[in-house]
Structure formats: C-alpha cells, structure tokens
Structure 1
Amino acid sequence: MSDDRDAFVALNIAVLTVSDTRTEETDRSGQALAERLAAAGHRLVEKRIVADDVYRIRAVVAEWIADSRVQVVLTTGGTGFTGRDSTPEAVGVLLDKVIEGFGELFRHLSWQEIGSSTIQSRCLGGLANATVVFCLPGSTGACRTAWDGILQEQLDSRHKPCNYANLVIPERGTHG
C-alpha cells in the first residue's frame, strides 16, 4: 500500500520582484523563478513587480501571507546593501519563524560562483501563517542558485528526510 506522503504535491507559489526599474519585459529574475517552479510542477498563482519601498513590499507579502491560496512566497531583489534595498526589513517583521540556515546555505552555494561577494547577500527565509517565504537576491544567477540548490528540493513534498512543502500543505501541517 502506497503512502500518500510519497506523492508529489504541487504548491501554489507567488513571485514578487522588488525593483525600481524592472518591467514585465525586463524582469529576468522573476521570470526565471516562474519558469523553474512551473517546470518542477508547481503553480504560479500570482506574479508582481513592486518598487523597492519597505511599505509596498510589506503590503504585498502580507497580502499573500494572509491569502489561504498562497503556500509559498518568493521575492527577488532588494536584499543588498544600497540605500533602497529594504526587502529583509520589509519581510522580516512579518515572519513567525526565521529559517536561519537558508541564508547560510545560500551564501555557501553562492560562494562557489561569486566568491566573497556573496557576503553582501541578505537573503532571508521564514514561515508566517502556514506560508513559507524566501527572499532572494535580484540577480538571475542568484535566483537560479537558490532554486536549483535549495528550493527545488525543499518545496518538493517527496524530499527526505524533511522539507518545507509538508509544512504548508494543510493536511500535512504537523509533519516535517
């Protein structure tokens, strides 16, 4: 007899690009995430672009966290150190729990690609209202690194010994 937990479960994922300059035509990072999540069998429930403003970012992410249809929020951009980079400040206060290891693992993987420049990444992961949230850097390469090296497995309900997918699937919320 097969265990239901061994079947792939498609997640509903929202993608937010944080940028003062990107448009739908020039948003390569958001598009890369949308393509990768679809290729993995997940559903893109919404994709938006918002200016790098702490309150605008917070408003969109809070809306998605409150939306029972959204199980995962991926943001790209606004995680650096320039004056306008404010994604961690916008999103961090919304999280019930922070995934400390996400930033550490991302920087480890990124180190292999860009060396010490990875130390400037303030990527962030956490859980809020049964929604997992990952804030990624704005470069397309960084989005590919995060998806291919971490998120693809962690958002796959079949990944063992544990994954974040099983925390956001309503009937599996107590498993990990």
Structure 2
Amino acid sequence: MAHHDTDFQPLALAVLTVSDTRTPDNDTSGDLLAERATGAGHNVVARDLVRDDIYQLRRVVSAWIADPAVQVVLVTGGTGFSGRDSTPEALGVLFDKHVEGFGELFRQVSLDEIGPSTIQSRCLAGVANGTLIFCLPGSNNACATGWDKIIANQLDSRTRPCNFAGLVSRGA
C-alpha cells in the first residue's frame, strides 16, 4: 500500500451481521470488523444484527444509506449458496454503482487461504446515495481477509493512486 504525506481521514462506518444463528453475545465476525475499523482510526457509528431475510436486510441498510452520518456499511454474512443466503439479492439492487472488482479480488486473495472453495463466495460491493457498502462472508477468516487485504487500504485516504475515502466524504 503506497501512502503519501496526507492526513488520515476517519470515516463513519456501520456494521451489519446477517445470521439466523448469531446473537449480539456471539457475533464474532461483526466484532472483528468493528475492532478492525476502530483500530484503523475509523468510527463505528451504528451496528445491527438481522436474520437472513431480504426485507430485514434492505430495511436496515436503506436506513443507513439515507443517513448522512453513515459513510460506509460493512455487512458480514449471507453471501453463500445455502437456501437462506440472500445478501447479494437483497442489497445488490440498492446499489447505484457496483464495485465489480471487489468480489473478483476477494476471491483471488482468498484462493491461497481456502483453495477453490473461494468460488462459493458471492461477496459484493457497491455505492448507494454516496454510501459505500461491502458485503463479506460470515466467517471470521473471510472478514479478516476482506478487511486486511482490501477494505482497509481502500478506506485509507492516504492510499495511492486511489481510494474510496474521498468518494464517501459527505459535503465534499
């Protein structure tokens, strides 16, 4: 990651866990993302956990998209192929623009970790109303991979040649 002499710009993030089995007490992937974000200097301004239901997902994320206090949404869970996994179907339709390369890059970097099973990841990212949304698998390892190898750099205003920090800055 290349940095230039610019100031770090903390962003306001929301974390959503999608799960039929996790509770706030055992939401380890949501905890991991929130800890990584705050550890990087960002602010977690909202957090929620919903069952894997298209309309519950859309309700929460739509509210965050409409909230000028939320610049980035990190979603963990619901990106697989089971009958209940519905994050791509729920949220992809909300995007004004898709970040096509995110899913491709995630699968590429996770190939070394989980081999060809990475093809079963339907993670995605997009922008809606100036809010950047990343949808990751629900495992801790997948969240760590997504944050450490892709998202952290793209949310760092010092990353060159480009990053998403300027895109999501409200009022700019």
Give the shorter-chain TM-score range.
over 0.9
Aligned pairs for 1:10-21 within 5 A:
10-21=10-21
Q: Which runs of 5+ in 1 are unaligned?
A: none
Given that 2:19 and 2:78 are in contact with CA atoms closer than 8 Å, whether structure 1 keeps it comes out as yes
Identity of aligned residues (%): 62
Q: Distance in 2 between matches of 1:104 and 1:56?
A: 27
Q: How many residues align?
A: 168
| 1:49 equivalent in alignment to 2:70 | no
| 1:91 equivalent in alignment to 2:91 | yes
Q: Distance in 2 between matches of 1:58 and 1:74?
A: 14
Aligned pairs for 1:141-152 within 5 A:
141-152=141-152
Aligned pairs for 1:16-31 within 5 A:
16-31=16-31
Structure 2 counterpart SS, 1:134: strand
One-letter amino acid matched to 1:94: L
Shift in Å, 1:69 = 0.2
Q: Distance in 2 between matches of 1:89 and 1:115?
A: 25
Shift in Å, 1:170 = 2.6
Q: Distance in 2 between matches of 1:171 and 1:107?
A: 34
Where relative contact order (Cα < 8 A, 6+ residues apart) is larger, the structure is 2
TM-score, normalising length: structure 1: 0.94
Q: Which runs of 5+ in 2 are unaligned?
A: none
Once superposed, what is the RMSD of the aligned Cα atoms? 1.0
| 1:40 equivalent in alignment to 2:32 | no
Runs of 4+ in 1 over 2 A off after TM superposition: none
Q: Which residue of 1 aligns with 2:59?
A: 59
TM-score, normalising length: structure 2: 0.96
